[in-house]
A and B are shown apart, each in its own frame.
Chain A
Amino acid sequence: MSTNAMATTTSQPLDLLKRYGIWIAAAVLIVVLPKIFTSGAALTTMSLMGIMIVFSLSYNMLLGQTGMLSFGHAVYYGLGGFLAVHAMNMIAADKLPIPLPVIPLAGGFMGLLFGIIFGAVSTRRAGTAFAMISLGLGELIASLSLILRGFFGGEEGITANRTKMLTLFGVRFGPQIEVYYLIGAWCLVCVALMYAFTRTPLGRMCNAVRDNPERAEFIGYSTQMVRFITFSLAGFFAGIAGGLAAINFELMNAVNVSGAQSGVVLLMAYIGGVGHFFGPILGAILVVLLQVMLSDVTGAWMLYFGLIFILMVMYAPGGLAGLVMLHAPLWRNNTLHHVLPAYALMAGPAFLLLGGTVLLIETAHHQLVRAATEGPAMHFFGLTLQSNSVIPWATALIAIAVGLLLGRRFAPRLVEAFHEASSPAAQLGRIGGA
């Protein structure tokens, strides 16, 4: 009620700014980012992030919005990418007057086409059956991709050259920065479209179908139809992401349609948080960052990745976005600072636990994988340790044990502080004060 009252009293331009401010900010951010992170590696990473944001958001249309757990979403991404590569090659060969920026649309329509075909068969069922059909279709296409060499190019894949297209305004998309802006623009448009979709009546019906399909049927909606339309649209956006990937890498291979890629998009969306629209965006950014940064630092990065995922599933099923939104009531109550001391207290044990686990994994990884060729000396945050001596192992185990003990000790205090901060009494205090 109070927000409505506020909106009517504020002036028109401010209202517009409030409504579209976040999109303008996002656009500005996309434009400004390469000016801050100028290195080539950063540019590549950010391009990849843009692609993955579209991909994981399209996945969340299924899982988060409609409650369809898919294990084969890479099919639409990969097929879109392959069609985009073939389209680029065909256009270059026949000198067709089509510029590069519309290529992702080709990928999108390929994704849409297969979304319609496969959606028609798989969305007739929901729940575990849907998950299994998606897995079956995913594996089907993944196996086919190794058989049909003409279309998928076998193991080595198919390459294209993005600069051989019709040039508009002198932009040839040779340098990465131009591709980055192309991806950024497509990313912004797709994110806006997918957000708009969540606000349509159909988007709302998706939530109903997710939460209570029986009741949705009784109201008179066909849950199958809702699932089918959403599934096709998700295929469309995944195809666009695939098309962008084709432009970015100028290469598509069988990995892009494989089950591994489907797994990655699931991880991204889930770690980010499927319950909120911005969750998969966070997830895509974090996962790409982890992929790029951790793989430089440690050989065991996939293990960290899996462990983070398991911990998220066990203790924070809302993902990162869920954790952030947990604090929204505190923020509104203006009682966020009440929990900060308890968080500070928890930081010690958390640090011990994290440090101990990382040390344990790194030492084990070094001893098992590298020690045979490089000797037992290993580097750990500037320290040189011997992976075959007792010291790192004992330190790691003690740190984990102490961290666990202290964590158990302090946890009740944190819970208490959190409850206190979000309790009605605290709100009353605020209203009394204001």
Chain B
Amino acid sequence: MVIFSTLNGVLYGMLLFLLASGLTLIFSMMGVLNFAHASFYMLGAYFGFQISQWLDFWLALIVAPVLVGLIGAGVERWGLRTVHRWGHVAELLFTFGLAFVIEELVQMIWGKLPVDYRVPPALDFPAFTLFETTYPAFRMFMLLISVAIFLVLLLILTRSRVGLIIQASLSHPHMVAALGHDVPKVFMAVFGVGSALAGIAGVIAGPALVTQPSMAHVLGPILFVVVVFGGLGSLSGAFIASLLIGLIQTFAIAINYSLGDVLMALGVTRPIQGLLNDLWQVTVAQVGPVIPYLMLVLILIFRPTGLMGTRET
């Protein structure tokens, strides 16, 4: 069970990282915390579903992220750039409204109920069996894809010329512009690529998790936790935070003890009754969804730069 939980936790963490890497790059370049990032992930899942219905899954794996990336670039070019002159709050609110509109559009086009996005038959077999429990091959495939993308991203950012320009635009945008690079175009490209990464995450997560209109706003806040916890603008921080939160959330589900149980074992009898009685009885598994937010609040109070961040939020 520990092995499976670890695998699932790492998998969930890698998925989070696919999303968080784009988000943190966008933030560190443009100073915009993109509320619509999880919506691009959702669009990826729905595009993947639609294309694999019409054509096939493998084509969807390539076409859907490209489409999402183009939409993202368009949003930057015609939306964010217009809003930019009103300041960061307006940019934040713009992406907030965009997330709202995308969710409504998705509900309109594909309906409010989850769509039947299935694992492609070529990958629909158990990968291995351990202690009489099987592990689906599709999950291994997801893990493979996300690790591959992580490595490619790392290589591009640290070893290539494009990566050099991006890194330079992060810290010294004016200098980069003075050297003759088109910084707005770099911004647009980063926004597009970030959205495309979210799109890939959507395409591969869609069949494993549930593809439904609420998937964006379920994941959105968790993403912020990852990005802020890891330190805004820090890719390695985002990586560590993704894995950490992935593992914590997966393991929390498996722990069935409550505060009451622990205190009882320590010989403390129940001190409160009445309305807040539940505080005593909820198990760690039930509290699981709360833990990331608690982590967010605590890290912002005690270490505002996040785990690996170099600048304050």
Contact = CB atoms under 8 A, between A and B. Distances in A.
Contacts of A147: 278, 282, 286-287, 290
Chain B interface size, under 10 / 10 to 19 / 20 to 34 / 35 or more? 35 or more
Given A140-B297, A151-B278, A313-B90, A364 B289 contact: no
A129 B83 contact: no
Contact of A133 (B276, B287, B289, B297): B297
B38 interface: no
Interface stretch (B2-10, B96-104, B174-182): B96-104
Interface string A136-149: 11011001100111
Interface string B284-313: 001101100110110011001000000011
Given A133-B300, A140-B293, A148 B105 contact: no
Contact of A148 (B100, B217, B278): B278
B89 interface: yes
Interface in A278-335: 300, 302-303, 305-307, 309-310, 313-315, 317
B313 A129 contact: yes
A70 to B, nearest CB: 11
Contacts of A150: 274-278
Interface in B46-65: none
B228 interface: yes
Given A136-B293, A365-B108, A121 B221 contact: no
A401 interface: no
Q: Chain A binding site: helix, strand, loop or mixed by DSSP? A: helix
Contacts of B286: 147
Contacts of B82: 314-315
B274 to A, nearest CB: 7
B123 interface: no
B224 A135 contact: yes
A192 interface: no
Contact of B290 (A125, A131, A140, A310): A140
A128 B300 CA distance: 11
A310 B97 contact: yes
Contacts, number: 120
B86 to A, nearest CB: 4
Given A128-B88, A313-B83, A313-B93, A306 B104 contact: yes
B108 to A, nearest CB: 5
Nearest to B105: A303
A313 B89 CA distance: 10
Q: Most B CB atoms within 10 A — which of A122, A124, A144?
A: A144
B293 A137 contact: yes
Most buried by A among B104, B217, B225: B104
Contacts of B225: 136
B92 A300 contact: no
A310 B294 contact: no
B83 A121 contact: no
B33 interface: yes
Contact of A270 (B93, B101, B294): B93
A151 B82 CA distance: 45
A368 B109 CA distance: 6
Contacts of A306: 97, 100-101, 104
A310 B88 CA distance: 15
Nearest to A129: B313
Nearest to B94: A313
A307 B228 CA distance: 29
A234 interface: no
B278 A317 contact: no
Given A129-B300, A132-B224, A259-B221, A143 B290 contact: yes
Interface of B is mostly: helix
A143 B90 CA distance: 28
B79 interface: yes
A266 B300 contact: no
Contacts of B86: 313, 317
A140 B104 CA distance: 25
A151 B108 contact: no
Interface string A364-382: 1100110000000000000
B144 interface: no
A86 interface: yes
Contacts of B300: 125, 129, 132-133, 136
B279 interface: yes
Contacts of A125: 300, 304, 313
Nearest to A133: B300
A131 to B, nearest CB: 7
A315 B92 CA distance: 15
A314 B83 contact: yes
Interface string A338-380: 0000000000000000000000000011001100000000000
A132 B101 CA distance: 22
Contacts of A364: 108
Given A125-B304, A133-B300, A148-B276, A314 B94 contact: yes
Given A150-B274, A317-B86, A310 B221 contact: no
A136 B104 contact: no
A140 B111 CA distance: 29
A421 interface: no
Interface string A97-134: 00000000000000000000000011011011101110
A314 B87 CA distance: 11
A66 to B, nearest CB: 12
Contacts of B278: 147-151
A154 to B, nearest CB: 10
Contacts of A135: 221, 224, 296
A402 to B, nearest CB: 21
A136 B313 contact: no
Contacts of A305: 100
15 contacts: A132-B224, A132-B296, A135-B224, A136-B296, A136-B300, A140-B293, A140-B294, A140-B297, A148-B276, A150-B278, A151-B276, A300-B104, A303-B104, A306-B101, A307-B101
Interface of A: 69, 86, 121-122, 124-125, 127-129, 131-133, 135-137, 139-140, 143-144, 147-151, 259, 263, 266, 270, 300, 302-303, 305-307, 309-310, 313-315, 317, 364-365, 368-369
Given A139-B221, A309-B93, 5 more contacts: A132-B224, A137-B297, A270-B93, A313-B94, A317-B86
Interface of B: 33, 79, 82-83, 86, 88-90, 92-94, 96-98, 100-101, 104-105, 108-109, 111, 217, 221, 224-225, 228, 274-279, 282, 286-287, 289-290, 293-294, 296-297, 300-301, 304, 312-313
Ranked nearest first, the 4 interchain pairs of A and B with the lowest CB-CB distance are A129-B313, A136-B296, A306-B101, A306-B100
